Structure formats: structure tokens, C-alpha cells
Amino acid sequence: MNASPIVYSLTPDEIPRGSSKITPDAGTCGLKEFPGPTLANCTVPISAGLPDHRGNWSNKETGHWEFIEQCGDRYIVTAPGRNGLYCIHDFVHADGSYKNGVKDYNAALFPRCFPIRATGNFEGNCMKMKVLSFSGATRCLLEDDSLEFYNIMIGTQILTRTDEHEY
């Protein structure tokens, strides 16, 4: 008799929060390698009414790329930061609260550990990340299936979905 493989199915709340630090007590920030998908074992569908931002996104002209994951109302952006180090910005629930928002580090300052706390919520086809009352980053799915990405530090650019792994 052959044993069936065990398949693990997790909800968004059962998966630990992603972080740009290897360990909580690490003295530097930024991951040396792309960490891979955080939500790979999450089987909960994207919450009703939310846009599907999942996938690899890039802008060939600027070289910017990022990997977005979604499960329920959880939203994770993994991308390269400064000095070849990677960040994970994990919104455990995109409900506009600091409790469930990003608790990570500013990737533009890696390997320095400059903490950021941000809320995240969906408005139409957009995911909005706010620090206090300022828009830190916005990602909006456009009609042509491209993603308009705004970041307060680098401006606005259009990203296209790609099957290629840019990491």
C-alpha cells in the first residue's frame, strides 16, 4: 500500500511574518539571497473584491523588479534593496492598521537597520502603503495588466508582469 504524501494547507495567519532580518537580533538588515515565496503553502483565495497583483513584476528600462504574493487579504512584496540585499514587506492583513501592516526596515538604507512601520489597504485596484499620513508606496493594477508603482523615494514607473524570475 502506497502512502499518500502529506499536503500542508495553511491560512494567512498560520504563516510567520516575513522579515528583512535573518534573525531578530541581527545587527544588519537585508537578506543576502532572494528568500523565495513566503506564502507558497497558503491555499486561501484572494479576498473577494481585491485585485490580483501576484507574480514577478519588472521595468526593463529602470531595472526595478519585485515579487508580489497574496493570500486572503495578506500582501507581501519581496524585492532587492540597496547593496544587493533583499527586503520582505509583509502586510499580514491589508486592513489599514499598523498592527497588521509592515514592521520591517527601509530597503534603501541596507545594511543599516532603519525601522519602518506602515499601514496597507486596498482602494479599488490599488494597494496603498502609508507611513503616518504620507503615501510611501502605491501599486495599481492598470487595464492593460501592467502595474503602476509609485514609491516616495524613486517616483513612478510602470511594471509588467513576467514569467521570468528576475532574482
64-108: pLDDT as tens digits: 999 999 999 999 999 999 999 999 999 999 999 999 999 999 999
- pTM of the entire predicted model: 0.90
Count CB-CB contacts under 10 A for residue 142: 11
- Determine the pLDDT at residue 25: 80
Q: How many CA atoms lie within 13 A of 152 on its CB side?
A: 11
12-29: pLDDT as tens digits: 999 999 999 988 788 899
Name the band, by pLDDT with cuts 50, 70 and 90, for residue 167. very low
CA-based nearest residue to 103, from 82, 114, 89: 89
